[in-house]
Amino acid sequence: PFTLSTMSICSIEDVASVTKKPFWFQLYVLRDKDFVLNLIDRAKAAKCSALMLTLDLQILGQRHKDIRNGLSAPPRFTPKHIWQMATRPGWCIGMAGTQRRTFRNIVGHARGVGDLTSLSSWTTEQFDPHLSWKDVAWIKERWGGKLILKGILDKEDALMAAKTGADAIIVSNHGGRQLDGAPSSIEVLEEIADAVGDTIEVHMDGGIRSGQDVLKALCLGAKGTYIGRPFLYGLGALGKDGVTKALEIIRKEMDITLALCGKRLVTDMGKDQLRR
């Protein structure tokens, strides 16, 4: 399933209006609890089939690439940006015609947020560093459906997550963007999966670029994996058809790898297939 971010340029209602298939919603814990409750209720009204709670973004990491590239909200144009835009006229024309230039789950819904400038100030103030397992409990109670906790990197947190009654955890280092010295997701996946056993379902994201990557994660104990950049690369190149193509490539890579490993099903794969 597709997971819609709190910080998406499409609102929950935008997505619900164009698809009959259930999608998931990703949520941050923010200081404005009324706004968080409203987001949860909007996701329920849109019949989202699962809520994904991000645990590793209570403080924004030092994102060196963002700093070097001058990324900001609202954007500040530099000569470098202007040159990049000039060499991509098709992209500029497309952006000029879009109505979605802001975070539509927030602007118009959060108090005092009406444009990118006010959104930037609001975001800086809203991320709550005092996240605790009690927050997970009240969010689960309000949501009432499937809850997935994203951002687990050690077995102690994984075991605590299982005790909260969450349905699944995602072993994730936020793509290495929060703490660049943190271990990769796949480094700690096996230890976490072994620690929790069957008490909670274990998923993984971060660095999945091929069907072989998916199978490696499954061999190490994951029940599923997530992708971000691969389908975005496809989207950027060919639009909707590019997304389909990216998924087809990963599926084909999985099929070929299974065949060359002498296996028919992904459930036949295990640690014995890995050489370390």
Indicate if 174 belongs to the active site: yes
Q: Of these residues, 64, 109, 130, 174, which one is catalytic?
A: 174
Report phi then psi at 268, rounded to 5: -80, -15
Contacts of 261 (CB under 8 A, 6+ apart): 269, 273
Residue linked to tokens 């024309």: 93
Where does residue 24 rank: exposed (0-12), middle (13-18), buried (19+ CB within 10 A)?
middle
Task: Provide the residue type at 77 as one letter.
Answer: F
Residue 248's CB is within 10 A of a number of other CB atoms, namely 11
Other beta carbons within 10 angstroms of residue 242's beta carbon come to 16
Please tell me the distance from the alpha carbon of residue 107 to that of residue 11, in angstroms, as a whole number. 10
Phi, then psi, of 4 in degrees rounded to 5 = -90, 130
Burial of 126 (0-12, 13-18, 19+ CB in 10 A): middle
> Which residues are CB-contacts of 7 (< 8 A; sequence separation ≥ 6)?
103, 105, 106
Going by their DSSP bridges, the two strands 168-171 and 24-27 should be labelled as: unpaired
Q: Which residues are catalytic?
A: 174
